């Protein structure tokens, strides 16, 4: 066998843990770079209000208090079922009004995460 190959193999055997750690770090950095590029290119970064600089935007969010939340506990009777169906139909009607391929489908106002502009 080639003496250079022998020395290289011995060097690798002696520093196996070091090479393993360096390899793991390189893989982690590569996967992080891929995930960040997907986060930005998919548009999810525009929706993330937890990012620095959006403290004022988080304070401006108004919760829709027009309806009380649906209770997950209690008796199951026809009145509760009818109330759930009414709420479900209302939400479905709002979703059906949206255009599937509209460029503003992910707009902050469409997602109701920004205050609506009064006209």
Parse the chain into domains and list their residue ranges.
1-47
100: enclosing H helix or E strand: none
Phi, psi angle pair for 31, to nearest 5°: -65, -35
pLDDT score recorded for residue 117: 59
d(CA 86, CA 83): 5
Q: Tell me what pLDDT residue 17 has.
A: 92
More confident residue, 29 or 79: 29
Q: Greatest CA span in the chain, whole angstroms?
A: 86
Rounded Cα distance, 9 and 31, in Å: 29
For 94-118, what is each residue's pLDDT tens digit? 877 766 666 666 777 777 777 665 6
Residue 55 has pLDDT above 70, yes or no: no
pTM, entire model: 0.40
């Amino acid at each position: 066998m080639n003496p250079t190959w022998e020395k290289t193999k011995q060097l690798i055997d002696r520093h196996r843990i070091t090479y393993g750690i360096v390899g793991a770090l390189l893989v982690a950095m590569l996967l992080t770079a891929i995930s960040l590029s997907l986060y930005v290119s998919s548009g999810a970064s525009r929706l993330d209000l937890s990012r620095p600089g959006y403290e004022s935007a988080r304070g401006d969010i108004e919760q829709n208090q027009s309806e009380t939340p649906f209770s997950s506990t209690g008796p199951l009777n026809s009145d509760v079922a009818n109330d759930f169906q009414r709420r479900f139909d209302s939400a479905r009607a709002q979703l059906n009004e949206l255009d599937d391929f509209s460029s503003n489908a992910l707009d902050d106002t469409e997602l109701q995460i920004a205050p609506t502009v009064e006209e």
